[in-house]
Chains A and B, each alone.
Chain A
Amino acid sequence: MIAVVLMAAAVHAQAAPGQSNEKSCAKEYPRVDVKVDSVLAADTNEGVDPRLLPMSNQLGVLHYSTYRLVSHQVRATECGRTVAFDLPGGRILHVNPHAIEAGMIEMQLLLFQGERPVMLTDLKLRDHGTLMIGGPRYEQGMLIITVGAHASGIPVRLGPGWEMPDAEGAAAPPPLPPLQ
């Protein structure tokens, strides 16, 4: 019982700095831009979507012969606030950047397939770095979800696929003709 009380006190004492860290996180980095691209990857030998050429090296690690951009979303949020992305195939991705330290953005990702959670991950992502989540089947191939983030306050070095979002987020690109 005494141990429980001491543990609770320790957590409370540490929670105070944590709360101030969250507040300073939102205060120091009032804006975090989260970019989520949905890419169809398949072995149909149709090449790389021109809009994905800046990311061709990164997508190339998967060794597919076709890459087509299905949706491109860039949304602004603030440190500590969750932003949700609707993905193809009835999937939803929740991204919560909750801390920023040494140029690394700490975030939690929660991927849903409908109502079913399929992945929960805590990670630190380098500013303008890329995390790819792949494997879900989509149309004739696989769905590749690329996640990137940039926090205002960290020196800007826009990488491939980044543009300054508007207040509502960037609109999806026009659809390509369906693959044969």
Chain B
Amino acid sequence: MAQCGEISLLLGAFEDGELEPHEMREVAVHLAACKGCELAYSQIIRIGMMLRDTAPAPDLNGFTEAVAARVARMRPSSADNVIRRPGVFGDRTRTSVRFAAAMAIAAAVTVLIALPVARRFDLTGYQPAPLPVADKADAAAAQVADAQASTADTGGQVTQASAGDDSSAVISKLETPDPNVAVWSEPSDDTTVIWLPDQP
């Protein structure tokens, strides 16, 4: 039986889904029986939600073009290299340093921006796939499709699917290794469905 001290060290990874399956089960069973650890886990969930709310994904439209344009401005022209050839060693060094610095800055910015987004959707052992739209093509399913399109480049894990304003459920996060998961809503029956096919 795991002790609270051991379990508390695993709560963060448990919330991120990064534990081995037997560890996930052990933590889950302990949380169901230990109020103190359950409170600590609830706080971790809360902090995680706040962190995600305070770090929204920036708009990357035009980012690549802007970086390429900046790099081009810093790269010396062929004419400059010919004219400056007699004393070119220092100029080449400065140009190379400028170019290297620009690439380093671009790489660092890319990592800083992309890493939180990638980490947000990374789930060890999971293989996310684009979510298919359910066969029931009503207005709620169309909203789910919009959510899929907006997250297509992140592997297809739905992060926001309201499934209709009249739905009884608003799903803010859904993570599963099932590549064929589907979500739809029937507002007239006040029902939201998560479909996990191909489960044994």
In the complex, A110 Cα to B175 Cα: how many Å? 10
Report the nearest A residue to B28, measured CB to CB: A94
In the complex, are the beta carbons of A81 and B38 less than 8 A apart?
yes
Is A110 a contact of B194 with CB atoms below 8 Å?
Answer: no
B: contact size bracket: 35 or more
**Main secondary structure on B side of the interface with A:** mixed
CB interface residues, A 11-39, toward B, < 8 Å: 11, 14-15, 18-19, 21-22
Contact with B along A33-69 (1 / 0, CB 8 A): 0000000000000000000000001101110000000
Residues of B within 8 A of A133 (CB): 193-196
B67 neighbours in A (Cβ, 8 Å): none
Give the one of A82, A108, A117 with max B CB within 10 A. A117
Q: Does B136 contact A (CB under 8 A)?
A: yes
On chain B, the residues within 8 Å of A116 by CB distance are 21, 24
User: Measured between C-beta atoms, what is the minimum distance from A29 to chain B in Å?
Assistant: 14
Residues of A within 8 A of B17 (CB): 117, 120
A132 to B178 Cα, complex, angstroms: 17
Chain B residue at smallest Cβ distance from A134: B195
Against A, the Cβ 8 Å flags (1 = close, 0 = not) of B155-191 are 0000000000000111111111110010000100111
A13 nearest CB neighbor, chain B only: B50
- Pick the most buried of B21, B49, B171, B191: most chain A CB atoms within 10 A of its CB: B191
Nearest CB on B from A107, distance (A): 10
On whether the beta carbons of B24 and A119 are closer than 8 Å, the reply is no
Asked if B47 and A15 sit within 8 Å, CB to CB, the answer is yes
- Identity of the chain A residue whose Cβ is nearest the Cβ of B158 in the assembled complex: A121
B50 to chain A, nearest CB (A): 5
**What distance in Å separates the Cβ of A122 from its nearest Cβ neighbour in chain B?**
4
Indicate whether A115 reaches chain B with its CB closer than 8 angstroms.
yes
Chain B, Cβ-Cβ closest to A79: B42
Q: Could you write out 15 A-B pairs with CB less than 8 Å apart?
A: A10-B54, A61-B193, A96-B41, A96-B42, A96-B45, A114-B21, A115-B22, A118-B178, A120-B173, A129-B168, A129-B169, A130-B191, A131-B193, A132-B191, A137-B199
What 7 A-B pairs are tightest by C-beta distance, nearest first?
A129-B168, A135-B196, A136-B199, A126-B168, A122-B173, A115-B25, A84-B32
Q: A18-B47, A22-B46, A126-B190 are in contact. List 15 more A-B contacts (CB 8 A).
A: A19-B46, A58-B189, A61-B186, A94-B28, A113-B200, A114-B25, A116-B21, A118-B176, A119-B178, A120-B173, A120-B174, A121-B174, A124-B169, A131-B168, A134-B194
